[in-house]
Structure 1
Amino acid sequence: MATLSAEQTLQLRTQLHQAVVACNDRCLYRSAKWAAELLNAFAESEQDLDNASDTEPSSPTSEGDPWTNFQFSQESHEARLERREYPKFLMAKSFFDCREFDRCAATLLPSLVPQKPIIRDATNMAAKSKPKRSEPLPGLPQLSQRSLFLALYAKYMAGEKRKEEDSEMILGPTDGAVTLNKELTRISNILDEYLSARGGLQSTHESQGFLEYLYGIVLLKGKNDALAKAWLLKSVNHCPWNWGAWQELADLLNSAEELNEITEHLPQNIMTFMFHIYCSQELFQSTEKVHNEINQISNIFPNSAFLQTQRALLHYHSKEFEEADGLFADLLSRHPYRLDSMDSYSNILYVMPSRPKLAYLASVASTIDKFRPETCCIIGNYYSQCSEHEKAVMYFRRALTLDRQFLSAWTLMGHEYIELKNTQAAIESYRRAVDANRKDYRAWYGLGQGYELLDMHSYALFYFQRAVALQPWDPKMWMAVANSFANCGRLQNAIRSYKRALVAGSYLDNGGAVSFTSSADPLAGSVGGALDPEILYQIALLYERDNSMDEASAYMELTLAQEEGPDEDDLPPGAPLSSAGGGIGITQTTSKARLWLAKWSFVKQDWQRASELANELCQDGVEVEEAKALVRDVRARLEADGHIGG
């Protein structure tokens, strides 16, 4: 991306300022905060901006002060309505800020009356783009888009507030899909009638984009993803600076292919660039191309905390924890009161592990705001690292009490329930996580782990396969898939999966760091460098179960060779290449392989080899008793056969 000219920079600043004002007017505070942070991330000083204003008199935004005159719409009809409603709008917004949502909605739209708790049929919604109209909607044509949005958004927030109140305790009998936002049907009908009157999805009518955004959210709540995606695309084309709409759109994309499919329908501006970086991070696409995109856009926004966070998360997904730690630490030093995404930083410190840094982060977050979900997750991770799992669960539940949509807390709470052997609660926590975010591979893996503990291996296999589809370069995922195949009796599939784990392991440069997971996981910590001896040993055992003794012997030899580091010529067919040398020394796994080979040599009557391996085991101090017994058996056979050295 080329460097922007002074005129383009001024125009971009003006658009971001307009976005901050527009989002604040509509009480979309998170989107306003995001745009305001980006507005202050430019490299130029305020003096540069003043100079640009002085030297570009022909700029389309230079008439008057560029930081004002965004109070009313540029469209004449909307501007007249907004001016007429302005005193009432200010009062309604004040009610919203005081969390009097129903009062806010009634102030602007008295026709909103209490509704019946009707559950909308998502199947019919998918079949027809337009639902049935409800009763006439008096007064809507006389209301500006800004006021209508605030009224309906307030009604939506009132429904969400009542839904949380009715849900009561986390994981209780009324928590989850049992309790609904009863305002959705009424809001959907109003928006459908209003937007249909303006031409629907094919409309070319001037729009501010916010009503389309709200309609997309309502359709998402009704599980009508296809129609929601269409309206969200329309929203970001009308109003590209509403970051909330981009986030909702990103939640609907489950693969890089889907991202590529919608690219041609997105506006051609810097927000699409930002969106592509964000989606790539959410889809774990930590490629050189994405890092280059961040570098390019950082030339325009060098002080952007958002971009630095995305870069740190990309390193996190690639298991490059040291780099991610450095970026987050720098972010914390430059923005000491910013808690956004700091729960991810606590995950990184948990797996490194770095308890002092995690304790410091928990102390800082608690000082800033004890009642932020991020703070609760950070403290929960700290207690988990201290093996105080009951306290960790308490803090993760507190995070969800503050915000039931805080997705990482569901996954983290599932990890803690696994530690506490509460399998049913863990499964329910993970299920809530994947219901809200189907791209969370940790939650899919946790579901598989839960069903594995219940010996339901077919179910576990399904969930492990979902996890490995999201994280194909994580060897731990492939090991879990292989273990489930083996437990289901599908030995060849298990062998292929273990070999995929070897290939994935060869891409790990940090000595076996794997995904953030529970320490109760029997596979955690066993995945190492290019050829992991534990994986090789498991492959050999599977070949033995399949009565392929030659292959089993070859993989046992390769397991043993890891003590010194294998030569390329030693690799059996189908095994990935690895660099020679770099042995790991004697381990329990290599000793078990040595014992297996000693016994196999005994069966083949290769007494010399059996004796050598058994004597080595006696020196290793591992499996000593079996090794001594084997030495005695070999000596007895040699003496019985009259061989020399008897």
Structure 2
Amino acid sequence: MAAILSEPAAAQLRAQLQNAVIQCSDRCLSQSAKWAAEILNSFQETTLVDGSETEPDSSMSDASPSDEDVFILHDPIEVALEKKELPRYLLAKAYFDCREFDRCAAIFLPANVAKGPIRTSSPIHPQSIGKGKRKATMPTEKRSIAVSLVGISQKALFLSLYAKYMSGEKRKDEESEMILGPADGGVTVNKELNDVSKILEDWFSYRNTAGGMDSNGGGWLEYLYGIVLAKNKNERLAKKWLLESVRVYPYNWGAWVELSSLLATSDELSAVIEQVPPNIMAFIFHIYSSQELYQSTDRVHANLNEIESIFPTSSFLKTQRALLYYHSKDFEEAESIFSDLLQTDPYRIDSLDNYSNILYVLDLKPKLAFLAQLATATDKFRPETCCVVGNYFSLKSEHEKAVMYFRRALMLDRNFLSAWTLMGHEYVEMKNTHAAIESYRRAVDVNRKDYRAWYGLGQTYEVLEMHSYALFYYQRAASLRPYDPKMWMAVGQSFGRVGKCANGIRSYKRALVAGSYYDTGAGSGFGNQDGLGAGILDPEVLYQIALLYERSQDNEECAAYMELTLAQEEGPEDQDTSDTTVESIGVGVTPTTSKARMWLAKWEYSQGGFQRSMELANELCQDGVEVEDAKALVRDIRARVEKGYGGQGMKKQVDAVEKRYVRST
């Protein structure tokens, strides 16, 4: 896709986005309409290939593509039906906007369909749908339902069934009552799902029969059917129908978001991209899904640069870039982008929960306090606002208040992922492991790609000393974040605790490799490196590998990794050939390197290397770590040498080592 559009292409894209706002608004898809409107208003006006600007009142600025290009409905029967039912449709839409979903559904649906369960003697299975037009035999009762829907336009049918679906969601939330209560979770379900699903199955089956209705309905009913199938955990078919929806009408952003939620890996994303038409919406979808899958690669950033040249002021695209930096642990860059967004659009609440997470990690309490005040003044009853305030109280170590606000966020939206995960973190701080596990489980129910919830489950079971369970959840987190060293360190630790030393060693080595992908600052122990042995390695990981080799009775490998741990104090030397200056970039003396030095001193002692053992022990005495053990080892070495072990030459060497360290102190 070209980064610079010709004027006809720009006019076509502008008209398509305008049409998307109208189409989504007419069907009460408010979030999709808002997204399309924001993207439309961030459109770069100067998009001519020759670089010239289009005057606002020029004839080119009024150019619009053909009806086919903006997906205007062509079916004369549908047009006539929509015109005929317009007054009733406006009434139904008004009821929907007032959240009177049952009244909305009852405007167009027959009474027996609108009120309650449809019972069919021979249901049509969705596997048989979409295989071309053919004559199909249908039970009389189902045929009567399909025929009763023929007089309704597809637009009215969508709004009615969507209202029925929303009515079920509303009742489900009302019946769930308190958060994490006995009726919360999988106990309560949307009781309208089966009805809506059966109506749509019947409608699609009738449409595909010989003499049925025109199949081009704009992709809206396909979108609704995909949502219903996804809610019923039939993800394979849901993906199929959502793909059909975006093929027919690609400018419904809600369909792309639902499709993205069904993708678990980057391979699945690649397979989906091959099945959708190459257009600007598919391009944006690829960026969005890559961010959701934590794929913060150079290619994704390049694609984002390309699309931002068309929509340079898009808050959505800037947020995606900030989240990409956030996932790659470049918190300062992500904070800078969010800060700029806050200045340009201070009333925008979307994604402020992610911004508050970044401020929490950076320990920027004043900024987080200001963000909490700003969000509360804008809209205190948004789940994002509640999460911002909850993070503020968490940073102040007021965990009970933090939980109260995360619960408030979930009362507003039970599927708000951030609140479930953050509430789990708070319960861990409060030592309430049962509530923490439930919170994390609800988080992964909402989004299986939330590695923080999987990692939190692993930590909680580790506290309970249920290490096999912890290992399982850590592995799930590591599969989602394969280049995060922290995940692999947790996996390696769990393997060690369940006695699988070889697997633990491999996991820790994977952590060393993963550390080369992140520059997480000096405090983390991981830095940019080209591979193993280049740059600074985390001494803690090296030390743990050495201990696992020791448990495996491989003392030679253990000693090699202890030496490598010790080498991280100095680090690799940067030799400047111009003036032969040498700069050390090591981690310095740490408790971990001191423990490695102690182990090596004892190892050399056991192997008869008294001189090296004495050197290491004296270094420990100078470092001020493991001092008592080091002094005891020095006394043992002196006693053995005085008894004649190692001969007179060894005694002279040990004496020389002691004199050297006495002078240096």
Equivalent residues in 2 for 1:315-330, closer than 5 Å: 315-330=325-340
Alignment-derived partner of residue 471 in structure 1: 481
Structure 2 counterpart of 1:398: 408
Partners in 1 of 2:387 and 2:118 — Cα distance?
34
Give the aligned partner of residue 17 of structure 1.
Answer: 18
Asked whether the 8 Å contact 2:519–2:526 carries over to 1, the reply is: no
Match of 1:625 in 2: 628
Q: Could you tell me which runs of 5 or more consecutive residues in structure 2 were left unpaired when the two chains were aligned.
A: 48-52, 131-135, 529-535, 575-581, 656-665
Q: 1:375 aligns with which of 385, 391, 407?
A: 385
For the residue of structure 2 that corresponds to 1:271, the secondary structure is helix
Mapped to 2, the partners of 1:398 and 1:160 lie a distance apart of 18
Q: Is the contact between residue 53 and residue 62 of structure 1 (CA under 8 Å) also seen in structure 2?
A: no
**1:226-260 C-alpha deviation (Å, 9 max, x unpaired):** 11111111111111111100000011111111111
Contact kept? 2:601, 2:617, Cα under 8 Å: yes
Measure how far apart 1:213 and its partner are: 0.6
CA distance in 1, matches of 2:573, 2:629: 30
Residue 274 in structure 1 maps to residue 277 in structure 2: no
Letter in 2 for 1:242: N
CA–CA distance in structure 2, aligned partners of residues 533 and 540 of structure 1: 10
Displacement of 1:108 in angstroms is: 2.2
Paired residues of 1:56 and 1:62 also in contact (CA < 8 A): no
Q: Using the alignment, how far apart are the partners of 1:60 and 1:159 within structure 2?
A: 40
Distance in 1 of aligned mates of 2:439 and 2:526: 26
CA shift for structure 1 position 216? 0.7
Corresponding residue number in structure 2 for 1:88: 88
Q: Distance in 1 between matches of 2:128 and 2:509?
A: 48
**Per-residue deviation, 1:556:** 1.1
Residues 1:290 and 1:62: Cα distance change in structure 2 (over 3 Å): closer
Q: What is the one-letter code of the residue matched to 2:642?
A: E
Q: CA deviation at 1:267?
A: 2.2
How far apart, in 2, do the equivalents of 1:447 and 1:394 lie? 21
Find out whether 1:308 has 2:318 as its counterpart. Answer: yes
Q: TM-score, normalised by structure 2?
A: 0.87
Q: What residue is the counterpart of 1:291 in the other structure? A: 301
Partner of 1:545: 551
Structure 2 counterpart of 1:602: 605
SS in 2 for 1:139: helix
CA contact (8 A) 1:81 1:144 kept: yes
Contact 1:556 1:593 (8 Å CA) reproduced: yes
* Structure 2 letter corresponding to 1:94: A
Match of 1:559 in 2: 565
CA distance in 1, matches of 2:86, 2:225: 24
Post-superposition offset of 1:544: 1.0
Q: Which residue of 1 aligns with 2:533?
A: none
Structure 2 equivalent of residue 521 of structure 1: none
Distance of 1:148 and 1:626 partners within structure 2: 80
Indicate how the Cα distance of structure 1 residues 452 and 84 shifts in structure 2: closer, same or farther if over 3 A, else same. same
SS of residue in 2 equivalent to 1:182: coil
Equivalent pairs, count: 616
Mapped pair 1:39 → 2:57: no
Q: Is the 8 A contact 2:18 2:40 kept in 1?
A: yes
Does structure 1 retain, via aligned residues, the 8 Å contact 2:489–2:507?
yes
How big is the shift at 1:282?
0.8
Write the distance in 2 (CA, Å) between the matches of 1:563 and 1:603: 24
Shift of 1:605: 2.2
Partner Cα distance (2:572, 2:608) in 1: 26
Provide the C-alpha distance between the structure 1 equivalents of 2:303 and 2:480, rounded to a whole number of angstroms: 22
Q: How many Å apart are 1:125 and its aligned residue? A: 5.7
The letter for the 1-side match of 2:13 is L
Cα separation, 1, equivalents of 2:409 and 2:367: 21
- The one of 189, 213, 223 aligned to 1:180: 189
Please state if 1:508 is matched with 2:509: no
Structure with larger Rg? 2
SS in 2 for 1:476: helix
Aligned partner of 1:495 in structure 2 is 505
**Are residue 640 (structure 1) and residue 643 (structure 2) matched?**
yes
Paired position in structure 2 for 1:574 = none
Amino acid paired to 1:429: S
Which residue pairs with 1:532 in the alignment?
538
CA separation of 1:567/1:556 partners in 2, compared to 1, >3 Å: closer, same or farther?
farther
Rounded to whole Å, the distance in 2 between the matches of 1:170 and 1:452 is 25
Question: CA 1:57–1:38 in 2, change beyond 3 Å: closer, same or farther?
Answer: closer
Task: Using the TM superposition, give the Cα deviation of residue 58 of structure 1 relative to its aligned residue in structure 2, in angstroms.
Answer: 8.3
Work out the CA distance in 1 between the residues paired with 2:180 and 2:125.
29
- Structure-1 residue corresponding to 2:78: 78
Corresponding residue to 2:207 among 193, 198, 210:
198
Counterpart contact for 1:349–1:358, Cα < 8 Å: yes
- Number of the residue aligned with 1:159: 168
Mean CA deviation greater in 142-151 or 102-111: 102-111
What is the match of residue 446 of structure 1?
Answer: 456
**Counterpart of 1:106?**
106
Counterpart Cα distance in 1 of 2:11 and 2:55: 7
In the alignment, the residues of structure 2 paired with residue 107 and residue 258 of structure 1 have an alpha-carbon distance, to the nearest angstrom, of: 40
- CA drift of 1:54 comes to 4.5
Please name the residue that 1:352 is paired with: 362
**Helix, strand or coil: the match of 2:275?**
coil
Give the secondary-structure state (helix, strand or coil) at the position aligned to 1:333: helix
| Alpha carbons 2:360, 2:391 under 8 Å: kept | yes
What secondary structure is seen at the aligned counterpart in 2 of 1:375?
A: helix
Q: Is the CA contact 1:447–1:460 (under 8 Å) kept in the aligned structure 2? A: yes
CA offsets per residue over residues 94-147 of structure 1, 9 Å max, x none? 11111111111112224334325999x99x967665999765326311111111
Residues 360-405 of structure 1: per-residue CA shift (max 9 Å, x gap): 2111111111110111111111111111111111111111110011
Q: Aligned residue for 2:8?
A: 7
Give, in angstroms, the shift of residue 210 of structure 1.
0.9
Match of 1:142 among 151, 154, 174: 151
Distance verdict in 2 for CA 1:78–1:348, change over 3 Å: same
Distance 1:512 1:434 in 2: 32
